Amino acid sequence: MSLDAGAAAVTFGRGGDEPYHHALSTGGPLHLFEHGSAAGASTTPQRVPVHRFLAGADRTERRLLASTRGSVLDVGCGPGRMVAEARRRGRDALGVDVSPTSVRLAADRGIPVHLGSVFGPLPAEGSWDVLLLLDGNVGIGGDPSTLLHRCRDVASPAGLLVIETSPERGRLARYTAQVSTADGRPSDPFPWAEVGADALVSPARDAGWHRLREVRRRRRTFVVLGVGVRS
């Protein structure tokens, strides 16, 4: 996948009735479901934690960030809670997000967020010490392998990648998704994926990452990867 092709594919919650914009503006709720299943009920919609996006970094996230060093790039950062926390600690930090509403909310608080896709050109590529893929953002673009390769290119030679994984350890699913508000206003379809901690091993290794540790807190699982040797 070229950078331009990847950038065109990343449109989380955009289009249609713009439910992601609405949820960010009002505090939610928002649900994610497989395209075509909203009125078929074969796939249970997942609640998107918009309240978390709009809040500050929680205790688990603060501890996770404190266990790393150096500059931080938060991929799919939303309104920028992790960027704000990193900068509060005196670290260079930037968010990247495709949502204009997220970028505006961040800018209103003085948080630097780049409007665009991780698959497009990014500031300081190849120099970021810590990359974050929280809140299920390993699903961005619908192809975890491609995303992990891209993160490897963006990271510094000794970089870390922190991924929040699916609660189902063996889950590896790629599908076309939509999000909708509580009253059923949907977005346009977009590619998405879910990856559990065990299923992450192979695509991470193929992209030049190796597992360093795993952190579990309050039903959330985070996998910390380090730069390995490219195959």
- Tokens linked to 67: 């266990």
22-26, 43-47, 51-55, 156-160: least confidently modelled range = 43-47
Q: Is the pLDDT at 36 greater than 80, yes or no? A: no
Q: How would residue 38 be classed by pLDDT, with cut points 50, 70 and 90?
A: very low
Can you tell me the distance from the alpha carbon of 117 to that of 4, in angstroms, rounded to the nearest whole number? 9
Could you give the strand order of the β-sheet that contains 155-165, starting from the edge strand earlier in sequence? 113-115, 93-97, 72-75, 128-133, 155-165, 220-227, 209-217
Name which residue leads in pLDDT, 39 or 67.
67
Q: Quick count: other Cβ atoms within 10 Å of Cβ 1?
A: 16
Report the DSSP pairing between strands 209-217 and 220-227: antiparallel
pLDDT tens column, 46-83: 999 999 999 999 999 999 999 999 999 999 999 999 99
- Domain positions in the chain are 3-227
Could you give the strand order of the β-sheet that contains 30-34, starting from the edge strand earlier in sequence? 46-48, 30-34, 172-181, 190-195
Check: CB of residue 113 under 8 Å from CB of residue 86.
no
Fold of 3-227: Rossmann fold (3.40.50)
Alpha-carbon radius of gyration of the chain: 16
Q: How would residue 4 be classed by pLDDT, with cut points 50, 70 and 90?
A: very low
What pTM does this model have?
0.92
Check: CB of residue 149 under 8 Å from CB of residue 178.
no
Q: How would residue 228 be classed by pLDDT, with cut points 50, 70 and 90?
A: low
pLDDT value, residue 143: 96
Residues in CB range of 20: below 8 A, 6 or more apart: 12, 13, 14, 30, 99, 101, 179, 187
Check: CB of residue 53 under 8 Å from CB of residue 24.
yes
pLDDT tens column, 117-133: 999 999 999 999 999 99
- Tokens linked to 122: 């990014």
pLDDT value, residue 43: 60
* Phi, psi of 12, deg, nearest 5: -45, 120
